[in-house]
Amino acid sequence: MAHAQFNSLAQATLKRRSFLGAGAIGLGALGMWPEIQTFAADVNDFVTGPPVKDIPPVQVSKHVWMIYAPDGFPTPENRGMMSNVTFVVTSAGVVVLDSGSSLQIGQMAIRMIKKVTPLPVIAVFNSHFHGDHWLGNHAFAEAYGAQLPIYALAKTIETIKGMEGNTWRLLMERWTNQSSAGTKTVAPNRVVTNGQKLSFGDVDFVMHHYGRAHTDADLSVQVVQDKVTCIGDIAMSNRIANIDDGSYAGTFKYYKALTDSIGEQIWLPGHGQPAKDLLQTYGEFMAGIWEPCLQAVKDGKSEAEAKAMVLKDPRVQKRAKTMQGFDGNIGKYISLAYLEAEKEAF
């Protein structure tokens, strides 16, 4: 609803109320009831964005369920539903791994959880500080109390509590044409560290963090009994990842450390479908960007020459036509790879 329409409707209602006077308010309100109902609905939509349509959860393993986001980027049409919301049903309650991009998405996730189990949500984990993975915290804190444990790495908590947290909220509203309006910034309230083990009922969770990859605060959460590990955005099945806060070289180191630590898993990403070979397939694509840039720097070639080498690399060409966001982002991420390669080479 536009600001002008909102103000006009509000003023008209106030004028009508003033005209009726205190003595006629009961009869006047009765006559105005359809208009009041419409006004109330419009005001609510203005203050809080509309609900997000239900997406039935898919069972990944014995305890793990995923609410899949088919789109890799936020739009007014998908209302910000761009990243997966994963939940784990334990004997003690439900553990949520990334809460979504908005209050409305978090509310949708709660509806879907209730279709699977009557158990309450007892904990939430946020994989990193990009807003599409934690803005849904608001819904869970609202539904289950402000003291609901929300876990993250210390750097994630610090960043969300700083200016970047509110910036993400505002950006999501802009990208979705205000569909996520009403979402509040709710930061995690529990710090976790690499190697820490937490148990909820019959399921154990182990925390993993091996330096800068997608960001410098990427938490991977291992669901031990199911051999499923939720990896946030360190790898994606069919979306070119934002590497602005990350590192190509660090990503490969993270992959090695993670696989050396826990072996074969179903890798469940924040964007895309889970797979046992996800780190391998996405790692090949990333290497198709990184290795030509590193070689170009070593050979004294320009960034433009490095870009041509990347675009000819078969590992990149194989994904170019089908990967979400490829055309709009590949140039930028080649530039970032080239800049990092210059630092790495010298």
Token readout for 114 is: 């209730």
Whether 31 shows a pLDDT value over 80: the answer reads: no
CA dist 282 and 278 (Å) reads 6
Contact between residue 310 and residue 316 where contact means Cβ atoms under 8 Å apart: yes
**Residue 7: which pLDDT band, with cuts at 50, 70 and 90?**
very low
List Cβ neighbours of 237 (8 Å cut-off, separation of 6 or more): 269, 271, 272, 273, 274, 275, 278, 281, 282
Q: Domains of the chain, with CATH numbers?
A: 3-47 (no CATH), 58-276 (3.60.15.10), 286-345 (no CATH)
Q: Residue 216: its pLDDT value, please?
A: 96
pLDDT tens per residue, range 131-173: 999 999 999 999 999 999 999 999 999 999 999 999 999 999 9
Mean per-residue pLDDT, 182-192: 98
Q: Residue 35: its pLDDT value, please?
A: 53
**Residue 19: which pLDDT band, with cuts at 50, 70 and 90?**
very low
For residue 239, the one-letter residue type is: R
DSSP helix/strand/coil, 121: strand
Angle between helices 137-144 and 103-116 (to 10 degrees): 60
Mean per-residue pLDDT, 52-65: 98
Mean per-residue pLDDT, 19-44: 43
**Residue 50: which pLDDT band, with cuts at 50, 70 and 90?**
very high
CA dist 38 and 220 (Å) reads 46
Element counts in the chain: helices (H) and strands (E):
12, 12
DSSP code per residue over 290-342: HHHHHHHHHTT--HHHHHHHHHH-HHHHHHHTTSBTHHHHHHHHHHHHHHHHH
Q: Residue 46: its pLDDT value, please?
A: 53
Q: How many of the other CB atoms lie within 10 Å of CB of 264?
A: 9
Whether 12 shows a pLDDT value over 50: the answer reads: no
Tell me which residue has tokens 């990009």. 130
Contact between residue 230 and residue 265 where contact means Cβ atoms under 8 Å apart: no
Q: Residue 345: its pLDDT value, please?
A: 77
DSSP code per residue over 41-60: HHHHHHHSPPPPPP---EE-
- The DSSP bridge partners found for residue 220 are 208
Tell me which residue has tokens 């006009």. 8
Whole-prediction pTM: 0.86
pLDDT tens per residue, range 66-109: 999 998 899 999 999 999 999 999 999 999 999 999 999 999 99
pLDDT tens per residue, range 263-290: 999 999 999 999 999 999 999 999 999 9
Mean per-residue pLDDT, 245-261: 97
Whether 4 shows a pLDDT value over 60: the answer reads: no
Exposed e or buried b per residue across 86-118, where buried means at least 16 C-beta atoms within 10 angstroms of its C-beta: bbbbbeebbbbbbbbbbbbbbbbbbebbeeeee
Whether 1 shows a pLDDT value over 50: the answer reads: no
pLDDT tens per residue, range 299-320: 999 999 999 999 999 999 999 9
Mean per-residue pLDDT, 196-206: 98
Q: Residue 14: its pLDDT value, please?
A: 34
Q: Residue 344: its pLDDT value, please?
A: 85
H or E element at residue 159: helix 154-161
Mean per-residue pLDDT, 177-206: 97
How is residue 161 annotated by DSSP? H
**Residue 213: which pLDDT band, with cuts at 50, 70 and 90?**
very high
